[in-house]
Chains A and B, each alone.
Chain A
């Protein structure tokens, strides 16, 4: 059973387009992290959201945590080829340091 469902699984867009990635669950999380991973490398932490309804911005990336702390979204404005990679959401449920990962969204931005 996948506790965190990410959609879409694959996304191929042109440079300059906007996109949104979703991370949904029926479970409540105490916090949620977003990571970006490039081939052959480990995931790199982008942001952590903790409070329901919280919105964080990182340059062209906007992250939102749902009011009920069950879902999150990542919006990228004016995507660039450098944004290409695997985007992973990961939730924590007050079980120590254990993170539950979504399956990931493979993003390809073409010039």
Chain B
């Protein structure tokens, strides 16, 4: 079956703009989590969604937000982009809420200039 699909794969944005990233989980998986990966900080948890509700949130500013749709697809949005937001954004899907066996997509590489 198909894995986790993230779009787009690459994105270049200018400081101050906003961006929306998309994630389609594995079929049948209902939980979606988002992570930010940078060389300096490694992988850091952004938030987790299950049944269209945010269940868990990491230590990121309010500029980072997300949502989940009834088909379990998820989007994350970053507003007022800063240079430091340049990173690989990874989406992970799990079968149920709180299931820590996560399967990751290929990620979206965001570059802010």
Residues of A within 8 A of B (CB): 30-31, 33, 35, 40-45, 48, 88, 90, 92, 94-104
Contact = CB atoms under 8 A, between A and B. Distances in A.
18 contacts: A42-B90, A42-B106, A42-B107, A43-B90, A44-B104, A45-B102, A45-B103, A88-B43, A96-B55, A96-B56, A97-B33, A97-B94, A97-B100, A99-B43, A99-B45, A101-B43, A101-B44, A104-B42
Interface residues of B, number: 29
Contacts of B104: 35, 42-45
Chief secondary structure at chain B's binding surface: strand
A98 B48 contact: yes
B45 A100 contact: yes
A3 B34 CA distance: 19
Contact of B33 (A30, A43, A94, A98): A98
Contacts of B103: 45
